[in-house]
């Protein structure tokens, strides 16, 4: 079943440059931009990141960084820099130049060869200029054909890849694909040719455990593809099918960080895979065939555990011929006819465009147009460097930072005489190299003066602390990142939060049997002195007030104030509290009042909650302003008129009712300006000076004020409502800043209670000419089902309950006076219903959410005396799905819906008449 191939066979690498990272050819999609496409993103080694831009600086050990949210820049030591991701244009730059040059340390340059003599080569590098490069730094130079033989050159970020598996835990860094999530899978269809060649480089920080499959269509086909896997401490190439399997050991994986760089040739129709090391040593020759070979176009990389990074992936076409054998450790020139000349490259004659090579003490000249590849003798020593610039064109240049000036980054690169300048606009990314290789920071950041925390704002997460500031400073919120020597004030309009302690996970939901069901009290049936929410007006028979903490006022800003509430009137709430000298708050600033904060929780169905918060059309000019919840969990809505120590006065449909205060657990304010979800309390005409913050202590209360100064860990300022405020940063979990206060408040439990305007029913269109056989109107899902029961007030002051008319065939006609088609249909329905009145047909016209005066005016205009039921809140129309009107429903004597028509027209009466005749004819003789 298995074999291990340990033989070595030199080979001829194909004549294209595969070393570049971040290159895009015409067939390659552009990489995805950072989260903030208008700025670069600095990733730090501790996991922090901050959006912004590089700032001019002199020095070799630090980057200076300006965030748009701060007034002045930070500076970070290179040892703390992970990457800088620059915005990616829609179209990436294609590499230019006659050659691709591979240098020591993984650097790649594109350009032309100007001279080569002695120990130095002169290169004219695209986008950089002329460079003098030590020969010992050169590893290889290739003829560059513009990537014509390539299918893909990258990886160029996440765009075009599909993530799956137990977690979608892949991210992009300098064009590389990275995952540290167990079970993360990434896959992409490249349209692989049946015979393809690959070069790939994978790296890891700890022991790897991955699977890299070539030639896949989906996750299932990956099981039968040629794969590279890690078994214990060995890298294996293998393929398994139902009939056959083969594998080969490629190399030993050492503990800790590492990487692999391999070349592979895949012939899918023949089931054949060749694997070579980057230096040309053959590592595997596998053949596993299938009965019906089917070439597949994709690759799949799975991170089983640990971490993995795909740094390089090149895919090209292959003619099926095995690579020619070479002596991989010798200098050589590959010629376009396939021949190889070994020897020491002496020089390049630019005038004659010839390479001069010494072979066995004999000088040989090869014209440049015949040269495909040049391999230089390699030294194992690579000079350390701290920073790598990755160009959009695919060039990579690494060295030590010299300066950042005039939007250019200057690096001192080992083996290159000149300082190398890269334009920021030409960069894909900057990569901080191993911190052990970076120069130590010149000085450490300033010592924090307050509690350390985590600053979060759009595009930024920075650990650090606030710096002590006095009132004379421009802003008292000055942030000192952990690694930065410099601190900077937040801008006044910043929206952010500082997290000092992460909130605990949300509690698990209670078992269903432990939750109480809410009862929505019918508003029309409320009268003072009855049981239920109104309770008893006799104080001696009411339930005693719960032993509890003080009542709590919840403001729309999110503030919470433990207090004693004395009265509520038409202006607002009067209270007494130890946390503030304020004694009054207006209605427009309030969101809730918890009179009994330990009231038992209740479970309210979404439909019932939606009904409580639905604002009917007829109430839009006079909406309810409060929801009242009893200690038993019942809800009632209306307008709170007043409250004192004993009772509440609440107005419901223009009638004032009395509730005993001991029966009320909480009051929720409903603000009409919250219907669109964007409103907030009116701001003061003269707000205090400073930055608005909201402190979240561990006890769950919230305090909003304008911060003025920070002394030690004491942050102080002034509130419009509460006056002078002071919090100890050691005692709070979070500090919200600016617009983040409203964003957080919108997620609070009481802030989820917002009115929602009922949708206006549509005026239905004409359904046709009215002709039919009586079978029309049976398309609705309600037909054949029991008609929803209801009770409504009639226009004459009496009541109508559907279940009380089982001996009749009831016709419900849903309408409104503003609906033109309704007014056209109503006289026809009224006329037809009267024709069948002696056979037990009864018509009830259900008006949607209009006043009695409007209904009477419409009837007078139509000269009708139809029985009209008033669906004031649209609840009955909702039960019958009357989202479009007119809607006419026929209910038989058994209480079932037998016909339902939406719309009408000039001849709807004929259609209704035929339908009623059909319904009556289906009844037993005894029914008539």
C-alpha to C-alpha distance for 887 and 402, rounded to whole angstroms: 79
Helix, strand or coil for residue 223?
helix
Tokens 């990489």 belong to 31
CB 579 within 8 A of CB 611: no
Of 364, 400, 425, 448, nearest to 87 by C-alpha is 425
DSSP category for residue 513: G
* Count of other CB atoms within 10 angstroms of residue 118: 9
Find the angle CA(227)-CA(230)-CA(232) to the nearest 5 degrees: 150
C-alpha to C-alpha distance for 668 and 753, rounded to whole angstroms: 8
Of 301, 324, 98, nearest to 216 by C-alpha is 301
Which residues have a Cβ under 8 Å from the Cβ of 59 and sit 6 or more positions away? Answer: 401, 403, 442
Helix, strand or coil for residue 82?
strand
Strands 371-375 and 362-367, by their bridges, are unpaired
Please say if 819 is a catalytic residue. yes
CA atoms within 13 A on the CB side of 198: 30
* Count of other CB atoms within 10 angstroms of residue 173: 16
Please say if 100 is a catalytic residue. no
CB 139 within 8 A of CB 103: yes
Structure tokens belonging to residue 728: 């100890």
Strands 282-287 and 272-277, by their bridges, are antiparallel
> What does the DSSP assignment read for 771-791?
---S--S--STTTTSBPPP-E
Tokens 């009830």 belong to 844
Tokens 């690096």 belong to 411
CA atoms within 13 A on the CB side of 431: 21
Q: What are phi and psi of 804, to 5 degrees?
A: -85, 5
CB 638 within 8 A of CB 509: no
Helices (H) and strands (E) in the chain, counts: 6, 71
Question: 254-285 b/e with 16+ CB inside 10 Å = b?
Answer: eeeebebbbbbbbbbeebbbbbbbeebbbbbb
**Paired residues of 815 in beta bridges:** 847
Tokens 């990457």 belong to 83
DSSP category for residue 114: E
Strands 590-594 and 635-643, by their bridges, are unpaired
CB 283 within 8 A of CB 159: no
C-alpha to C-alpha distance for 728 and 7, rounded to whole angstroms: 71
> What does the DSSP assignment read for 298-315?
EEEEEEEES-EEEEEEEE
* Count of other CB atoms within 10 angstroms of residue 891: 26
Which residues have a catalytic role annotated? 819, 822
């Amino acid at each position: 079943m298995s074999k291990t191939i340990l033989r070595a066979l030199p080979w001829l690498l194909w004549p294209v440059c595969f070393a570049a990272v971040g290159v895009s050819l015409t067939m390659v999609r552009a990489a995805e931009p950072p989260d903030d496409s208008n700025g670069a993103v600095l990733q730090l080694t501790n996991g922090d990141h901050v959006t912004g831009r590089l700032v001019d600086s002199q020095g070799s050990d630090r980057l200076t960084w300006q965030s748009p949210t701060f007034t002045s820049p930070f500076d970070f030591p290179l040892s703390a820099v992970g990457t800088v991701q620059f915005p990616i244009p829609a179209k990436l730059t294609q590499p230019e130049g006659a050659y691709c040059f591979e240098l020591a340390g993984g650097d790649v340059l594109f350009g032309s060869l100007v001279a080569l003599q002695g120990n130095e080569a002169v290169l004219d590098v695209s986008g950089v200029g002329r460079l003098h490069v030590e020969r010992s730094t050169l590893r290889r130079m290739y003829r560059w054909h513009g990537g014509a033989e390539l299918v893909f050159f990258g990886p160029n970020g996440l765009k075009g890849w599909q993530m799956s598996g137990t977690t979608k835990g892949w991210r992009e860094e300098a064009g590389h694909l990275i995952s540290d999530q167990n079970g993360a899978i990434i896959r992409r269809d490249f349209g692989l040719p049946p015979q393809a060649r690959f070069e790939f480089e994978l790296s890891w920080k700890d022991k790897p455990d991955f699977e890299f499959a070539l030639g896949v269509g989906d996750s299932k086909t990956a099981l039968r593809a040629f794969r590279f896997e890690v078994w214990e401490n060995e890298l294996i190439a293998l393929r398994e099918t139902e009939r056959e399997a083969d594998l080969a050991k490629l190399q030993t994986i050492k503990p800790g960080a590492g990487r692999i760089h391999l070349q592979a040739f895949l012939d899918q129709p023949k089931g054949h895979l060749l694997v070579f090391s980057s230096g040309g040593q053959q590592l595997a020759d596998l053949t596993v065939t299938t009965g019906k070979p089917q070439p597949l176009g994709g690759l799949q990389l799975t991170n089983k555990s640990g971490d993995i990074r795909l740094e390089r992936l090149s895919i090209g076409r292959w003619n099926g011929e095995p690579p020619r054998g070479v002596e991989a450790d010798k200098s050589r020139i590959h010629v376009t006819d396939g021949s190889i000349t070994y020897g020491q490259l002496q020089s390049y004659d630019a005038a004659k465009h010839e390479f001069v090579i010494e072979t066995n003490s004999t000088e040989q000249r090869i014209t440049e147009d015949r040269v495909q590849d040049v391999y230089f003798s390699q030294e194992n020593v690579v000079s350390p460097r701290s920073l790598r610039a990755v160009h959009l064109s695919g060039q990579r240049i690494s060295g030590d930072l010299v300066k950042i000036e005039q939007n250019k980054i200057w690096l001192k690169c080992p083996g290159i005489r000149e300082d190398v300048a890269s334009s920021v606009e030409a960069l894909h990314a900057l990569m901080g190299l191993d911190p052990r290789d970076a120069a130590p920071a010149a000085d450490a950041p300033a010592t924090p003066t307050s509690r350390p925390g985590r600053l979060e704002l759009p595009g930024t997460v920075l650990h650090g602390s606030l710096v002590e500031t006095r009132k004379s400073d421009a802003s008292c919120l000055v942030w000192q990142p952990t690694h930065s020597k410099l601190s900077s004030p937040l801008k006044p309009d910043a929206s952010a939060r500082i997290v000092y302690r992460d909130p605990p996970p949300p509690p698990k939901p209670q078992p269903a049997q432990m939750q109480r069901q809410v009862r929505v009290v019918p508003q029309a049936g409320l009268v003072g002195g009855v049981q239920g929410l109104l309770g008893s007006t006799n104080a001696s028979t009411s339930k005693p007030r719960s032993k509890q903490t003080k009542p709590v006022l919840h403001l729309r800003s999110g503030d919470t104030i433990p207090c004693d509430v004395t009265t509520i009137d038409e202006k607002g709430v009067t209270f007494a509290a130890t946390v503030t000298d304020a004694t009054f708050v207006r209605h427009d600033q309030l969101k809730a009042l918890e009179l009994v904060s330990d009231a038992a929780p209740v479970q309210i169905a979404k439909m019932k909650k939606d009904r409580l918060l639905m604002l009917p059309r007829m109430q839009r000019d006079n909406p309810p302003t409060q929801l009242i919840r009893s200690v038993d969990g019942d809800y009632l809505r209306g307008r709170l008129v007043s409250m004192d120590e004993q009772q509440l006065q609440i107005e419901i449909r223009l009638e004032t009712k009395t509730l005993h205060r001991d029966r009320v657990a909480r009051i929720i304010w409903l603000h009409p300006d919250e219907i669109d979800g964007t409103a907030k309390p009116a701001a003061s005409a003269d707000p205090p000076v400073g930055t608005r913050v909201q402190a979240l202590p561990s006890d769950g209360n919230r305090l909003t004020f304008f911060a003025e100064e920070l002394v030690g860990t004491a942050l102080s300022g002034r509130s419009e409502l509460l006056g002078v405020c002071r919090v100890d940063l050691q005692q709070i979990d979070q500090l919200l800043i600016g617009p983040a206060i409203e964003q957080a408040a919108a997620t609070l439990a009481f802030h989820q209670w917002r009115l929602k305007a009922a949708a206006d029913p549509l005026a239905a269109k004409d359904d046709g000419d009215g002709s039919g056989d009586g079978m029309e109107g049976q398309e609705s899902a309600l037909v054949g089902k029991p008609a929803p029961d209801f009770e409504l007030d009639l226009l004459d002051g009496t009541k109508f309950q559907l279940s009380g008319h089982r001996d009749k065939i009831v016709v419900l006609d849903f309408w409104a006076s503003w609906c033109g088609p309704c007014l056209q249909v109503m006289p026809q329905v009224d006329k037809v219903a009267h024709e069948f009145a002696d056979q037990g047909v009864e018509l009830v016209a259900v008006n949607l959410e209009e006043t009695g005066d409007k209904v009477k005016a419409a009837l007078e205009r139509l000269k009708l005396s139809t029985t009209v039921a008033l669906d004031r809140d649209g609840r009955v129309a909702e039960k019958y799905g009357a989202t479009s009107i007119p809607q006419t429903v026929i209910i038989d004597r058994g209480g079932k819906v037998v016909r339902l028509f939406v719309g009408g027209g000039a001849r709807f009466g004929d259609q209704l008449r035929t339908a009623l005749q059909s319904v009556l004819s289906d009844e037993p003789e005894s029914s008539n």
